[in-house]
A and B are shown apart, each in its own frame.
Chain A
Amino acid sequence: MLDGRAALKRRLPPRLLLSSIWLGLLVIMAVFAPYLAPKDPLAQDLMLGRLPPFWVKGAEPGFFLGTDSLGRDVLSRILYGSRLALMVALIAGTLTCLIGATLGLMAGYLRGWVDLLISRGIDIWMAFPPVLFSILLIAVLGPGISSIIIAIVVIDWTRFARVIRAEAMAQGAMDYVASAQVSGRGRLSTMVAEILPNVLPTIVVLLTLEMGIAVIVEAILSFVNLSISTDDPTWGGMISEGRTSIHQAWWVLVFPLITLFLTVLSFSQLGEGLKDRYDPVLR
């Protein structure tokens, strides 16, 4: 990792640079939303419904990106929506990674019945339509941020488990693992001390990609009105509303869509960029 840092200083590829800038910006937006948002994201005013963005005729000063059908400020709602998106990305991504990678490591390294059980579980999971499964889970768990996170973890752990299992298997077959075991190390401690560091780059890349996926899942759940209460600002909820009023007020769809697009693209480009640079396995 040390020479990796040196390489980073030499020349940052544009896709790593640009995606980092956007994600950094997003963090700032989320953290400082109450200070940055020009309006209350929940304030409705039917008199100010469907105002266009500032450069279009009929725009009202103060509503920079226009308003939705209930007169709520689009820009403020996007800013507040970034809070939920990032929270879900971080928490759900990390939890999915922890659980999936652990199961994958155990299956790939311990083999035997542990592997059999986990692999069969992965097979069963792969037979579920993921979007439908997540919607079903939210219906069962009830709306709310913790439900979204649980749904993402339950559905996506296989992404990590599959890759890490294969990788741990490959590493486990190598000589350095055998020599570690001969020297008297326990199986579990070999796993953590010898295998884990070697699959870590893969895990980091997958985690980055997973965060992008989590953002999308959250948007999809909000889109079908199942994520959190429908009043709260979410990108998916805004897109859902924008979809219905697309012929009257395109801006209600376009701005959250672009924000979501850039965010998903950034996570994915960041992951791909990291993969190219550091990960000998996925590359």
Chain B
Amino acid sequence: MKRTSTYITCVILTVFLIFSCILAFLAGSVRFRMLNTEAVLPVVTEQQLANKVSNTLQTEFKAAESASGIPASVYADAITPDKLEPMIADGISNGFAYLRGDTAKLEIRHDFSELDDQITAFFEDYAAKHNVIKDDTYHEAVKTAKANAAERILSACDVFRFQSLADTGVLKTARTYIPWAGYAVAAAFGTVILFILLLFFANHREPETGFYWIGTGALIASVLLLIPALWLKHTRWFDRFAVKTDHTFAAVTGYLYGGTNAVIRTAVWSIIAAVGCYLIFGLLHGIRRRKHTIRHAKH
């Protein structure tokens, strides 16, 4: 009877341990992977975002030629991948810092002085060829062209579209919850430790059985995370996202696949830990059985 009640107590505690482990996994993934700039930045090179942004901008400036009258070649030097890459990286760093509440403003550090000079030179050339008087209208046109070009480039470098997310209020909502991620991680890990201790307490007569239940909890929590993560990865599920802009698609899917890989790695380590717990349980249980057998043989 006692064995049955201990068993049921352990089952209940293990269920709680499993959910605590899943919450700890998720909270830890958000805090240390999804919001960690260092973990996200490799997506820039892995997904060749600078090349993709450069191609997008070239297409956009080419398409705008007929409306603006400014040849795409005027912008060519300012939108090379090597010039865009630092801006993309800065946009990502700043965006995630904003999300974590580390900075109050969404911005991308940039230097468009070279681009401004090229636009000015083009207008000067145009004005000279067409005898355009350099009045207020002329200077306003130059100013507008520079502002439009800068806006277009900065918008393209915002590969995760933080500005759009901020404009629609998504970031504001996220910013109110994200600072709690750290506390959530601490709380989740604290709960995991609490249930581990409770499992040992429930099995204080046979402490090695505690390792069995802990191993079971870790194994099931890992499997429950591993199965969907493997499914997402092997079906290339995020590729179904209908994001039209090439670089945004690459950034978002690259980021999500990176997160999925991190979950898979953590789950695999957790399974190894679970197997370790089972081995400890088997070893200690075997020793206890041998001691019993020897003691009863003596009697």
Do A and B share a complex?
no
Instruction: Mark A residues whose CB is within 8 Å of B.
Output: none
